[in-house]
């Protein structure tokens, strides 16, 4: 991984994924180290974020590094018409590594092709969010004791949800069975289902969230993403389609955990928060350890 960009989860082999998770486990045991003391990381967020930006910045700070960057393009020369290429070439003069979130699919790949320093994709439109996937894998392995042969329920916006696309691609390397729970308007795109077919992996599709929950090892909830809809009426039709309630978890496995990349809107009722099966806030914490691991490996420090 040294000096390489991380743009999509399938840029990583299974062995590289496991190495990232193993090192993240070490960071969880010992999160205060000084290994980034000579490093400047730039966080360029052209779209809003709480967890991704702040967990990257927390990871850099805890490892003794410095952060520069912006959390909205309006305060930068992008608002004067500067191109993405010029922004990247400029910021690369000031930093050793660039973490970028951008609304346009493919922007992270493009940035990685023009940048002299590695780029970490922190989300590009509806396409990919690989560091979220790595923290999701970390959370799944930590709660289930394995990544192998698990039953993963992906719920909600499977059409525009970049986190579910990346997670599905990654879990396919570990023999998972998937259940896609979505309304017809937000079904998992065919290209991803064809990918699973080509790998000989099983998947099921259902509309009713209440069905088959007793089979799940992980219920991965997602938000219906208002910002991806071109027609606001289409969003209104599906925005509250699923609400997970505590009473729905009654027949689920004792080891089952509910994950969500967050932010949530209404799709997980707050009555789930006190359940021992709720894992979405520890999941967000795992982002710090996982991002420590990713950055230190890309920078060749470990
Ligand atoms: N999970 C995630 O990407 O959250 P943010 O949008 O808050 O970064």
Does one domain contain both 86 and 227? no
CA of 191 to the centre of ligand 1 (A): 25
Count up the domains in the chain and report the number. 2
Does one domain contain both 27 and 87? yes
| Residue 28 domain flag | yes
Does one domain contain both 123 and 265? no
| Residue 42 domain flag | yes
- Ligand 1 and 61: CB distance under 6 A: no
Contact present, 104 and 137 (Cβ < 8 Å): no
Cα dist from 58 to 25, 64, 65, 142, 203, whole Å:
17, 10, 10, 21, 37
Domain containing 56 equals 9-128+287-298
Does one domain contain both 142 and 123? no
CA of 198 to the centre of ligand 1 (A): 31
Phi, psi of 67 (to 5 degrees): -120, 135
| Residue 139 domain flag | yes
- Ligand 1 and 130: CB distance under 6 A: no
Does one domain contain both 15 and 119? yes
The DSSP code sequence of 193-208 is HHHHHHTT--EEEES-
- Ligand 1 and 49: CB distance under 6 A: yes
The domain that holds 172 is classified in CATH as 3.40.50.1370
Q: From 50, 136, 223, give the residue whose CB has the most ligand 1 atoms within 8 Å, as the site to mutate.
A: 50
Does one domain contain both 293 and 279? no
- CB atoms under 10 Å from CB of 110, counted, come to 17
What's the CA gap between 248 and 246, in Å, rounded? Answer: 5
| Residue 190 domain flag | yes
Phi, psi of 131 (to 5 degrees): -75, -30
User: What's residue 237's pLDDT?
Assistant: 76
CA of 172 to the centre of ligand 1 (A): 23
CA of 200 to the centre of ligand 1 (A): 32
Does one domain contain both 82 and 189? no
Provide the residue-wise pLDDT of the chain in tens; the chain has 302 residues: 889 999 999 999 999 999 999 999 999 999 888 999 999 999 999 999 999 999 999 999 999 999 999 999 898 999 999 999 999 999 999 999 999 999 999 999 999 999 999 999 999 988 889 999 999 999 999 999 999 999 999 999 998 888 999 999 999 999 999 999 999 989 999 999 999 999 999 999 999 999 999 999 999 999 887 776 677 777 777 777 899 999 999 999 999 999 999 999 889 999 999 999 999 999 999 999 999 999 999 999 98
263 burial (CB, 10 Å; 0-12 / 13-18 / 19+) is exposed
CA of 227 to the centre of ligand 1 (A): 13
Contact present, 272 and 278 (Cβ < 8 Å): yes
């Amino acid at each position: 991984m040294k000096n390489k960009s991380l743009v999509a989860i399938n840029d990583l082999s299974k062995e590289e994924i496991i190495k990232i998770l193993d090192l993240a486990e070490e960071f969880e045991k010992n999160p205060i180290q000084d290994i980034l003391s000579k490093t400047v990381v730039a966080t360029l967020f052209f779209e809003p974020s709480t967890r991704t930006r702040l967990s990257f910045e927390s990871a850099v700070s805890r490892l003794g590094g410095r952060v520069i960057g912006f959390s909205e393009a309006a305060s930068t020369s992008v608002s004067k018409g500067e191109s993405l290429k010029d922004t990247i070439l400029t910021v690369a003069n000031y930093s050793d590594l660039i973490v970028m979130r951008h609304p346009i699919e493919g922007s992270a790949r493009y940035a990685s092709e023009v940048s002299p320093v590695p780029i970490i994709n922190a989300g590009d439109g509806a396409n990919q969010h690989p560091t979220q996937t790595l923290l999701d894998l970390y959370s799944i392995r930590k709660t289930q004791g394995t990544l192998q042969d698990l039953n993963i329920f992906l719920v909600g916006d499977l059409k525009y949800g970049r986190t579910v696309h990346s997670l599905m691609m990654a879990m396919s390397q570990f023999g998972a069975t998937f259940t896609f729970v979505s309304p017809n308007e937000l079904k998992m795109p065919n290209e991803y289902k064809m990918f699973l077919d080509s790998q000989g992996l099983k998947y099921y599709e259902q509309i009713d969230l209440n069905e088959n929950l007793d089979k799940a090892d992980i219920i991965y909830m997602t938000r219906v993403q208002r910002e991806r809809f071109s027609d606001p009426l289409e969003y209104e039709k599906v925005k509250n389609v699923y609400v997970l309630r505590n009473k729905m978890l009654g027949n689920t496995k004792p080891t089952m955990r509910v994950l969500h990349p967050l932010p949530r809107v209404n799709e997980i009722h707050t009555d789930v928060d006190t359940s021992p099966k709720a894992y979405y806030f520890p999941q967000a914490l795992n982002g710090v350890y996982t991002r420590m691991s990713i950055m230190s490996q890309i920078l060749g420090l470990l």
